[in-house]
Amino acid sequence: MAQAWKCSGLRWVDGVPELVWDGGRRSALTWGKRVAFKVADGGVRTCVGARGHLCPMRAVVSARSTGARCEECARLDRAHSVAADTLADDPRPYRVYLAWFGPGLVKVGITRVERGPVRLLEQGAVCFSWLGTGPLMAARRSEELLRAALKVPDRIPYADKRAVRSALPGTEAERAAEVRALHARAVALDGWPESLAREPCLTVDHFGVFGLADLPPALGEVSGLVAGGALSGELVAAAGPDLHLDLADGRGVVVLDTRLLRGWELGPSDRSGGQSRSGPRGPSDPGSPGGGPGREIVFSIREFRPSDDGSAVQDGLF
């Protein structure tokens, strides 16, 4: 490719998913738009650095790493991280939340008050409710209380989230039921930090925001990009960092974790009709011509197999 662009990741802005490119350009994604791109021939995936700094070693990283960082940059990135529990003196207020991703998939977490529901969108939470608001360490103690007393996890694997998205309950009340029940059990616990103000259960539903109504089951997920590989498909849904794409070759829907795009040089697919002046034809401009029908996907796909309840279960590679 004569020119290539690097993706900084997927962001949710006012409930709309946007791909962000190095340099600050953003591409809003809407349902039905074509996403088509190719990885540069002979290219390698390089570390994206940490905390706004480039990787000094320009280290090559695994195609399957969602972090897209070398070991040293990953350590630096987590050195002052709320998620890694290495930042304890943040004076800003935090909220504790309960998030639901599908039947039996409920977690507890925290996020800064100023971020609003963005953290829930980033994680792909289909339904959530706030549980309390207070200082960071009080929020952390509340999170630990729920883990210890009610066995509520603070992490849900993305593979589990993806596997159930096309088989979620059809009504908002059904989707909120587990959150409401767990919220009632949580606020009844003893041992809550005095500095944390508990909040009533007011569930927020992202089913429509993510475009999950009538979502076709995915045949699998992209497990890694490769040099020279291409992908073309129509966007049918998005949740968290994931894009659900109906492949142009008619094979069905696959899930692309956009974190896998980071660190690669990307450009238009072979049938894109030329180079864009402002970004690669495809993910940066999903409405533009991309790989046409019949364009093969040449990335590795981890296949889902149907389970007894109609959802999907990860199987293997093909």
Segment 90-116, tens digit of pLDDT: 789 999 999 999 999 999 999 999 999
Residue 142 has pLDDT above 50, yes or no: yes
8 Å CB contact between 82 and 114: no
pLDDT band at 270 (very low <50, low <70, confident <90, very high): low
Residue by residue, DSSP assigns 157-202 as: -HHHHHHHGGG--SSHHHHHHHHHHHHHHHHT-S---TT-EE----
- The pLDDT score that the predictor gives to residue 79 is 77
Partnered with residue 233 across adjacent β-strands are: 35, 247
Where does residue 200 rank: exposed (0-12), middle (13-18), buried (19+ CB within 10 A)? exposed
- The pLDDT score that the predictor gives to residue 315 is 37
Residue entry with tokens 């709320």? 82
Nearest-5° Cα angle at 302, 29 to 46: 65
Partnered with residue 128 across adjacent β-strands are: 99, 204
Residue 247: how many other CB atoms lie within 10 Å: 19
More confident of the two residues 85 and 24: 24
Rank 84-98, 172-186, 300-314 by mean pLDDT and report only the highest. 172-186
- The pLDDT score that the predictor gives to residue 23 is 84
Residue 83 has pLDDT above 70, yes or no: no
- The pLDDT score that the predictor gives to residue 136 is 94
pLDDT band at 88 (very low <50, low <70, confident <90, very high): low
Residue 118 has pLDDT above 90, yes or no: yes
- Across 221-234, b (16+ Cβ under 10 Å) vs e yields bbbbbeeebbbbbb
pLDDT tens for 272-284 read: 433 333 334 444 3
Residue 227's closest CA among 180, 255, 264?
A: 264
Average predicted confidence (pLDDT) for the chain: 85
- The pLDDT score that the predictor gives to residue 105 is 98
| Tokens encoding 295 | 């364009």
pTM for the model stands at 0.86
Partnered with residue 21 across adjacent β-strands are: 7
- The pLDDT score that the predictor gives to residue 303 is 87
pLDDT tens for 212-241 read: 999 999 999 999 999 999 999 999 999 999
